[in-house]
């Protein structure tokens, strides 16, 4: 052991290289910059200069605060403390706004079908953010209770299917569409139930299959929506879909991009916000719409 001129302790690691606390590095650098040329040439204060290994280890330590290493496809990524907090916050902040938004649609309703659509959509939207927040909180704070965390995770994944179905319901119920409309109104909920059953029995077993299930359920009803006689709102629907699609890239980037899952949450929130705006403006604010037979 040796003491530097500041009274801080330095010690020798493997290979005999000098190591110091990186938090002292800036102060040490300042002192070194004020050493005389003669002192530098004599190398009188070797403890003041961190080695390349010191700097590399500190950079790795800083990186691990914001992102852990990527894991194999058959294992779950373990977020850092900062990532856990971000995962919770990025959906928790939308719970109350989604409840308010659903209530606004309900009070703007002009008939029972508008009210039913508002209840379905508001429940799906709020349920998505609520279950996501509960799961990520459980994964952060009670991950040692493996069974409890797993149940929250299943609920989180099931909520996505019902959210997709709820997002399409106002368009399928309140717009004049093609002949497939009537069937798609109930078929989309059958798809949500099938997807949820898959999650219940095969949770985390076939991750790619689960992802394809979400994509398929999001894409198939869109083909029916495109048959709308009134095209108002199509651009917003497409734009929201783009945000969801781009966000999937971050959903699959844990361990490659810091806070990847939290970024995915933000893309979901933006996509949901755009779709809410379209529903509010074109289906509720505009008043009664031409409707197909119930």
* pLDDT tens readout for residues 12-69: 444 444 444 444 555 555 555 555 555 544 455 555 555 666 555 555 555 566 777 7
User: Phi, psi at residue 176, to the nearest 5°?
Assistant: -80, 110
Is position 25 within any domain? no
Task: State residue 170's pLDDT score.
Answer: 94
Contacts of 269 (CB under 8 A, 6+ apart): 90, 91, 94
Chain mean position to CA 43: 52
Chain length of the chain:
294
Half-sphere exposure of 137 (CA within 13 A, CB side): 10
Is position 110 within any domain? yes
Is position 149 within any domain? yes
Give the residue among 240, 107, 113 at the shortest CA–CA distance from 175: 113
- Does 261 carry a binding-site annotation? yes
Ranking 101-115, 147-161, 221-235, 269-283 by mean pLDDT, the lowest is 221-235
Give the rounded percent of residues in the chain with a pLDDT score beyond 90. Answer: 46
Give the rounded percent of residues in the chain with a pLDDT score beyond 70. Answer: 73
Helices assigned H by DSSP within 67-145: 81-92, 95-108, 112-141
* Domain of 219, in residue numbers: 79-284
Task: State residue 144's pLDDT score.
Answer: 84
Is position 8 within any domain? no
Domain count along the chain: 1
Is position 96 within any domain? yes
Is position 125 within any domain? yes
Task: State residue 293's pLDDT score.
Answer: 45
Mean pLDDT calculated for residue range 193-207: 88
- Does 84 carry a binding-site annotation? no
DSSP 70: P
Contacts of 245 (CB under 8 A, 6+ apart): none
Is position 102 within any domain? yes
pLDDT band for 183, please (50, 70, 90 cuts).
Answer: confident
Please tell me whether the overall predicted TM-score, pTM, comes out greater than 0.85 for this model: no
Give the residue among 79, 75, 72, 100 at the shortest CA–CA distance from 264: 79
DSSP 230: S
Rounded distance, CA 269 to CA 254, Å?
Answer: 19
Is position 12 within any domain? no
- Does 8 carry a binding-site annotation? no
- Residue 251 burial (CB < 10 Å; 0-12/13-18/19+)? middle
């Amino acid at each position: 052991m040796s003491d530097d001129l500041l009274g801080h302790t330095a010690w020798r690691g493997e290979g005999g290289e000098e190591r110091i606390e990186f938090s002292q590095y800036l102060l040490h650098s300042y002192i070194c910059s004020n050493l005389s040329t003669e002192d530098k040439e004599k190398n009188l204060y070797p403890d003041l200069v961190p080695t390349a290994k010191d700097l590399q280890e500190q950079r790795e330590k800083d990186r691990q605060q914001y992102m852990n290493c990527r894991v194999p496809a058959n294992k779950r990524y373990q977020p850092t403390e900062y990532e856990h907090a971000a995962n919770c916050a990025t959906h928790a902040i939308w719970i109350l706004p989604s409840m308010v938004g659903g209530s606004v649609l309900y009070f703007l309703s002009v008939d029972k079908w508008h009210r039913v659509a508002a209840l379905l959509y508001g429940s799906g939207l709020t349920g998505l953010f609520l279950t996501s927040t509960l799961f990520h909180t459980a994964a952060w704070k009670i991950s040692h209770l493996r069974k409890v965390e797993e149940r929250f995770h299943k609920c989180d994944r099931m909520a996505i299917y019902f959210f997709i179905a709820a997002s399409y319901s106002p368009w399928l119920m309140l717009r004049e569409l093609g002949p497939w409309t009537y069937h798609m109104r109930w078929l989309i909920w059958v798809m949500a139930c099938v997807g949820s059953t898959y999650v219940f029995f095969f949770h985390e077993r076939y991750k790619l299959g689960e992802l394809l299930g979400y994509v398929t359920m999001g894409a198939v009803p869109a083909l029916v929506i495109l048959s709308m006689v009134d095209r108002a709102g199509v651009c917003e629907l497409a734009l929201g879909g783009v945000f969801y699609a781009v966000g999937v890239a971050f959903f699959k980037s844990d361990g490659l991009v810091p806070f990847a899952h939290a970024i995915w949450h933000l893309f979901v929130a933006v996509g949901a916000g755009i779709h809410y705006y379209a529903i509010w403006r074109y289906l509720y604010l505009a008043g009664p719409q031409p409707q197909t037979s119930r």
